[in-house]
Structure 1
Amino acid sequence: MESDILLYELRRRWCSPWCSPPPVNMFNLMSNCCSWVSKLQQPLRKITVLVVGLDKAGKTSCVRGMLRGNLVPPGDVGPTHGCVRTELRVENYLVNILDMGGAPEVRGSWREHYGEAHGIIFVVDSSDRQQMKKVKEALVDLLKHPRVAGKPLLVLANKQDKINALLGNELIEILSLERLVNQSRSLCHIESCSASVDLRRWSDRKTLRGLRWLLRAVCLDYPDICARVMRDGRRPLGPEEKERRGKIEKSRNKSKEEKTRTSKTDIRQEQHNETVRKNGTLQPIENILNKENSLKKETKQKEEGEG
């Protein structure tokens, strides 16, 4: 009888809604602790991500969707000029994001940053069907470059909140994405998102989910990609890049020469003003020489008269 009462008490205690059997709890606790410790022991990996795409595709909004801090409203986001660098910490990754402008006149500057990128994010405005031909051309030029081939590629199909937006599988067919990534031997993932809508809640941002995929894809081949980044940074530039940088250098030299000329002109003007201030008005050199000759004659005549 006493044994039955003890068994009943044990069952009542461990089967109550407020308490659960200790072995299950201890197992969950130990597994959580092990996963937490393993994450802490993982090294901090630095990864550079290049964000490209046509203008008005929503690249800057997608980048801001990956951040935790206070964000600028989507209406205040203007066109990006040049390269905007942003750093953020995602798990054990220190990510350096390069947000590139997408206007036709600045797309040539993308190539300058291909070498330092570990992975590429290509943002597509999925609601703009008329631009798909240009999007495909830009994607082809991107993937055929030797400094991009073989690196992971994340395609963000942005603006899915629009009525006429293309779905992910439709974009794969229109852009011939499967064939392009097979040719370049790049891991690829397409993520449908709506950056302007995703800004409302950080936890629901699909752009951040896509970024996590890209970081993990980079880590699958992290040593080799890092070696490529270091090698591409030391590799000499191609003829097109040399010509382009030569033009930029010439324009810089011209501006320096113009600045030097203006500075010399300013110095001469200051000297001119200083002379005017001291002597009143400037006189021609001939007049000054005539005065000196007349003074010499007068002194000679005085000396002869005294002698």
Structure 2
Amino acid sequence: MGNSSAKLLLIGLDNAGKSTILARIMEPDESVNGITPTIGYKKDKFTRDGVDYYVLDMSGESKYRDLWQSNATTIDDKDKIHGIIFVVDSSDKMRIRVAKSELDLILENRSISNQIPFLFYANKCDIKGACTLEEVQDILDLKNLKREYQIVSCSGLTGKGVQEGIQWLTGLVKLMIESGSR
């Protein structure tokens, strides 16, 4: 029996570390230096625990953020997504507030099913003065989020926390696929 397939949307403000985290997910033991920022979007694929993931890595520049809305429900105009990975730079408290505004816009989109789980990476936790996981959670107001979510403190550069996050998401995605809910 072959692998199941699932679609993920990877979003967050520019310079939050989305592409670095994705590279770390795809190749946990490889160096992630010299990652080029995403312009517009790019598609990637990786396999984890019997699930073939197709990822749409969206640019976080303000001129591209409107694309998040249109891609939050579909990838390739065919299949609904199975999860959203939202990356925030925990070392930049002011921009976490901007990320909160963008998150609110995504959550207001009625076409995004409440069954779609969110994995939040509080990236750059290794930078001196970075917000704690609890501070990021409070700024994003995640305690009032009415859907499955997990927030993980991580460092895309070192890999700390990255695999734990994707393992959580994979567990949920596998349950969704098995139950036929997505």
**Shared fold (TM-score, shorter chain, > 0.5):** yes
Structure number with higher helix proportion:
1
Q: 1:141-195 CA distances to partner (integer Å, 9 max, x unpaired)?
A: 112212324110000000011011111111111111111x22xxx2000011001
Q: Distance in 2 between matches of 1:159 and 1:220?
A: 30
- Within 5 A, what are the aligned runs for 1:251-290? none
Offset of residue 221 of structure 1: 2.9
Q: What does residue 169 of structure 1 align with?
A: 134
Q: What does residue 44 of structure 1 align with?
A: 3
Q: What does residue 39 of structure 2 align with?
A: 81
Offset of residue 206 of structure 1: 2.1
Offset of residue 97 of structure 1: 1.3
- Within 5 A, what are the aligned runs for 1:217-236? 217-222=172-177, 223-225=180-182
User: 1:87/1:168 Cα in 2 relative to 1: closer, same or farther (>3 Å)?
Assistant: same
Q: Secondary structure at the match of 1:85?
A: strand
In the alignment, structure 1 residue 190 sits paired with structure 2 residue 147: no
Q: Secondary structure at the match of 1:66?
A: helix
Offset of residue 98 of structure 1: 1.1
- Equivalent pair of 1:143/1:149 in contact (CA under 8 Å): no
In the alignment, structure 1 residue 60 sits paired with structure 2 residue 24: no
Q: Secondary structure at the match of 1:155?
A: strand
- Equivalent pair of 2:4/2:51 in contact (CA under 8 Å): yes
Q: Distance in 2 between matches of 1:139 and 1:80?
A: 19
Q: What does residue 169 of structure 2 align with?
A: 214
Mean alpha-carbon deviation: is it higher for 140-149 or for 114-123? 140-149
Name stretches of at least 5 consecutive residues in structure 1 with no aligned partner: 1-40, 199-204, 226-307
Percent identity over the alignment is 29
Q: Distance in 2 between matches of 1:72 and 1:82?
A: 24
User: 1:133/1:208 Cα in 2 relative to 1: closer, same or farther (>3 Å)?
Assistant: same
Q: Distance in 2 between matches of 1:69 and 1:142?
A: 29
Structure number with higher strand proportion:
2
- Pick from 110, 116, 133 the counterpart of residue 97 of structure 2: 133
Q: What does residue 158 of structure 1 align with?
A: 123
Q: Secondary structure at the match of 1:224?
A: coil
Larger radius of gyration: 1
Offset of residue 71 of structure 1: 4.8
User: 1:100/1:72 Cα in 2 relative to 1: closer, same or farther (>3 Å)?
Assistant: farther
Q: 1:188-218 CA distances to partner (integer Å, 9 max, x unpaired)?
A: 00011001122xxxxxx52122112112112
Q: Secondary structure at the match of 1:99?
A: strand
Q: What does residue 35 of structure 1 align with?
A: none
Higher relative contact order (CA 8 A, sep 6+): 2
Q: Secondary structure at the match of 1:195?
A: coil
| TM value normalised by structure 1 | 0.53
Q: Distance in 2 between matches of 1:68 and 1:49?
A: 17
After TM superposition, which residue ranges in structure 1, 4 or more long, deviate above 6 angstroms? none
Q: 1:23-58 CA distances to partner (integer Å, 9 max, x unpaired)?
A: xxxxxxxxxxxxxxxxxx7x6210111100000000
- Pick from 99, 107, 112 the counterpart of residue 143 of structure 1: 107
- Equivalent pair of 1:101/1:107 in contact (CA under 8 Å): yes
User: 1:144/1:218 Cα in 2 relative to 1: closer, same or farther (>3 Å)?
Assistant: farther
User: 1:166/1:73 Cα in 2 relative to 1: closer, same or farther (>3 Å)?
Assistant: same
In the alignment, structure 1 residue 119 sits paired with structure 2 residue 92: no
